[in-house]
Structure 1
Amino acid sequence: SKIEDILKDKRVKAVTLTGSKPAGSAVAATAGSEIKKSVLELGGSNALVVFKDANIAEAVKTCVQARFQNTGQSCIAGKRLLLHESIEDEFMEEFVKQVRELKSGDTMDEDTFIGTLAREDLAEDLEKQIQDSVKQGAKIVLGGKRDKAYYEPTIITNVKKGMPVFDQETFGPAMAVTTFKEDQEAIDLVNYSDFGLGVSIFTEDFTFAEKIVPAFEDGAVFVNELVKSDPRLPFGGTKISGYGRELSSHGIQEFVNRKTVYFNKY
C-alpha cells in the first residue's frame, strides 16, 4: 500500500496515527518491522461516573455534551454512563429530557446538533450493537431508530458487562447507562473496558476524587468535566486506546532523539 511504502522510506523516521484499532495495528506493525518509533491514538469507550454527591444539574449538561458532540463520533466521547443508584432517577429524568431536545437536521446547518453519521455502514454497525444488546436485556428508553446514515439520539438502560454497547466502542449518538452501588464497583466497571483513553468522574468531594484517581487505568481522568485534548496537557491512552502521548512537552519529546554527550578532561 502507499502508506506502507511511505513508512518504509528511509526519509521517514517515525509515525503517529489517530484512527481505529485495525489501522493502528497495521501501522505499528509496519513501523516495528522497520525499527521506527510509533505513537497511536486510537479508539475509546470513555466512562462518565456520577457519584451520589455530584452536582446533578451540571453533570447532566456535561454528560449530554460529552456523548453527543459531533453526533457521538469522537474517540474521547463519553460512551458509558455509570450512575450511583441513589441519584439514578433524578439524573435520568433530566438527562432524557435534554437529549430529547437536541436538534437534529442538516449537518451543514449551524443550528443542527445531531446530523448524519459519516457513512451509512457506521450507522448500521451502531444499530447492530444496540439491537444485540437489547436481545441480552438492555432497554431502549429514547431513540433507537435508523434512517440510512442517520441514527436517532439514543439512550439504552439496564446495560451490563458483556453487552456490545458496554464492551465495544459505540461510534455514534447512543449512551449506554449502567448503575452501581459501591465506589469500588464503579472503578471496576470503568477498568473492565479494553479501552483506556479517559474517564470523567463527577463529585463535589475533591479529596475523594484525588484518592480514587490512581485506581483508574485510563490515560486521563477529568473531574466534573468531559475528557478533552488541550495543547497544554499530554493526551493519549492505555490498553487498546494506544500508546505514547500527543501535545504538551510530552508530545514534543515523543519524536526527539536524546543524545548523550560525555567529556572527560585529563
Structure 2
Amino acid sequence: METKSLFINGKGETKQRTYALHSPYSGEVIANISMADKADVKKAIEGAQQAYKTMKEMPAYKRSDILLKVVSILQERREELARVVALEAGKPIRTARGEIDRTIATYQFAAEEAKRIYGETIPMDAAPGGENRLGFTWREPLGVVVAISPFNFPFNLVAHKLGPAFAAGNTVVLKPAEQTPLSAYLIAEIFQQAGLPDGALQVITGSGRELSDALITDERVKKVTFTGSAGVGKIIKEKAGLRKVTLELGSNSGLIVEPDVPLEKIIPRCVEGAFAFAGQVCISLQRIYVHESVYEEFSKLFIEQAKQLKIGDPLEETTDISAMINPKEMERIESWVEEALEQGATIGLGGTRDGSVFTPTVLLNVTNNMAVSCQETFAPVVSIVPYKELDEAIDMVNDSIYGLNVAIYTQNIINAMNAAKKLESGGVIINDIPTFRLDHMPYGGVKDSGYGREGIKYAVEEMTELKFVTIKTAF
C-alpha cells in the first residue's frame, strides 16, 4: 500500500516512520501515513516564512483568484472529496456532500473577503494637538499561521483556517487530525493546482502530542488557530505566549423548547441536530429543556422520529448514523451512559453498541451534574429535561462550563429576546437548533468553549495586524 507523504514546500516527502489509517466503520487499513518529526516541522515553518515574502506582496485580486480557482476545482471534484470524508471520517455520504458544499461556500466567502480588507480614517482634530493631521489605518498580514484541525469536518473546518489566512496574505502550516490526513493532502494538491505559491501551505501529519510544541513555540509563528478539546486548547494558549490565538473548543449545546411552538414541525430538526454525524459536532444538540406542559408529547415524538434513523455503512446513500471515530470514544460514551443510569437517569432509546456504531440514544431523568449533561458527549446521546419557568430553563442552560451555541424555540418575541440577553454563549439561535451555522456568520464561544471568532470576515480580522499611520499636513 502506498505511503502518503508530507507536503513541504510544494513537494511530497515520504517518511520511514508511518502509521496505518483505519476506516472507522470497517476497521480496514485505507492508507499508510507519513509521520513528521520536529525537524520536519522546522523545515515546514522555514518554508512558510520564505513563502510569506511572496504572499504579503501578492495583490488582493490575485489572492482572490487563487481562492476562486480552488472553488472551481472543489465543484468539479465534489463527489470524490465527499467519498474521502466518508471513508476516513466515517461520515455518512449525504452528510459528507453537505460538508463539501459548505467548504465551497467558505472558500467563496474567503475569495470575496480578500478584496474587502479595509482600514478607516481617524478624525485627528477630535483631540487638542490633532489639527492639520490626517490619520488612517490599514491591515497587514501576520506571517506564518499554524492551523491545527479536528477530524469531524476535515474539509470545512480546515477551510475556515486556510481561507481567511490566504485571503489576508499569510502562509499556513497545517496539522490535520491523525484520523483525517487524506483530506488535508487533497486540499494542498488543489491549492497547488490553483496557483498558490509553493511553501504557502505546508501539511504536517503525525502525532499532535509529539509535534505540538515545535509548531506552537517557534518564534516565526505569528498565530495559532486550533479547533479541538478545551483541555488541549488551554495548553496551547499557555504555550503560545504573545502570539495571536483562536481557539474553537467544546460544547454541550442546550436548546429550550417553549410550549407555544408546533412540535411536529421542530421534531425532525431537533433529531437531526442531536444525531447528525453521530453527534460528533462541536455544536451538536446535547441538552433539550422542554416546558413541562409539552414534555411528554415532545419526548414521545422525538423518540419516534429517532427510531427512523438508519444505521449503516457511511458510503450507503440511505445511511443516517455510522461509526464513531474510534473504539476508545465508543468505550468512553458507553461508560458515561452507564454512569448516568446508575445515578438515576433512564433510557428512552438506544444506549447500546452495534458494531462500530453507538446507537442513537435518548436519556430521560438527567440532572446537570451527570457527565452526559455537564461534559461534552461528542456522541449520539441527547438528554430531554422538563422545566416549569423560562428563567429556570435559562439557568439550566447556563449551568455549564461551555458557551458556544445555544438555542430557543418560541413564538413570543419578548421571551426570545429576554433569553438571548441572558444566555451565556457566543451565539444564540432563535427558532432553530444550536447546531445551525452558516460559514460567514461570526462563530466562537465563551467560557471553556473558546477564544476568538471564526466566520471569514471575522477570522480575517484576527489574522491581520492593525497599523495606524498619521501625516502632518502643514508645517
TM-score, structure 2 normalization:
0.54
**Match for 2:222: what amino acid?**
K
Q: How many residues align?
A: 264
Q: Distance in 1 between matches of 2:367 and 2:404?
A: 20
Residue correspondence of structure 1 range 155-174 to structure 2 within 5 A: 155-174=362-381
8 Å CA contact 2:374–2:401 kept in 1: the answer is yes
Q: Distance in 2 between matches of 1:64 and 1:261?
A: 53
1:21 corresponding residue in structure 2: 230
2:211 corresponding residue in structure 1: 2
2:80 corresponding residue in structure 1: none
Corresponding residue to 1:73 among 271, 280, 287? 280
Q: Distance in 2 between matches of 1:249 and 1:221?
A: 19
* RMSD over aligned Cα atoms: 1.3
8 Å CA contact 2:407–2:432 kept in 1: the answer is yes
Q: Distance in 1 between matches of 2:215 and 2:228?
A: 17
Alignment deviations for residues 102-154 of structure 1 (CA, whole Å, 9 cap, x no partner) = 00111222211011100011011111111111111100111111245321111
Q: Distance in 2 between matches of 1:58 and 1:10?
A: 53
Larger radius of gyration: 2
Corresponding residue to 1:215 among 422, 428, 432? 422
| Runs of at least 5 residues in structure 1 that lack an aligned partner in the other structure | none
1:62 corresponding residue in structure 2: 269
Q: Distance in 2 between matches of 1:251 and 1:142?
A: 40
Structure number with higher relative contact order (C-alpha < 8 Å, ≥ 6 residues apart): 1
Alignment deviations for residues 184-235 of structure 1 (CA, whole Å, 9 cap, x no partner) = 1000000001110111111112232122211000111111112333222100
Alignment deviations for residues 48-88 of structure 1 (CA, whole Å, 9 cap, x no partner) = 11011122112211110111011111111110011100001
8 Å CA contact 2:299–2:384 kept in 1: the answer is no
Corresponding residue to 1:89 among 288, 293, 296? 296
**Structure 1 stretch 203-212 or stretch 100-109: which is displaced more?**
203-212
1:118 corresponding residue in structure 2: 325
Cα drift, residue 7 of structure 1: 2.1
| Runs of at least 5 residues in structure 2 that lack an aligned partner in the other structure | 1-209
Alignment partner of 1:46 is 2:46: no
Corresponding residue to 1:195 among 398, 402, 416? 402
**Match for 1:20: what amino acid?**
S
Percent of aligned pairs with the same amino acid: 36
Q: SS at 1:130's partner residue? A: helix
8 Å CA contact 2:314–2:322 kept in 1: the answer is yes
Q: Distance in 2 between matches of 1:103 and 1:24?
A: 35
1:257 corresponding residue in structure 2: 465
8 Å CA contact 1:50–1:59 kept in 2: the answer is no
Alignment partner of 1:178 is 2:355: no
Moved over 3 A (4+): none
8 Å CA contact 2:291–2:388 kept in 1: the answer is yes
**Match for 1:8: what amino acid?**
T
**Match for 1:234: what amino acid?**
P
8 Å CA contact 2:237–2:245 kept in 1: the answer is yes
Q: Distance in 2 between matches of 1:141 and 1:214?
A: 33
Greater per-residue helix proportion:
2
**Structure 1 stretch 5-14 or stretch 169-178: which is displaced more?**
5-14
1:151 corresponding residue in structure 2: 358
Alignment deviations for residues 154-196 of structure 1 (CA, whole Å, 9 cap, x no partner) = 1100111211111111111111111100111000000001110
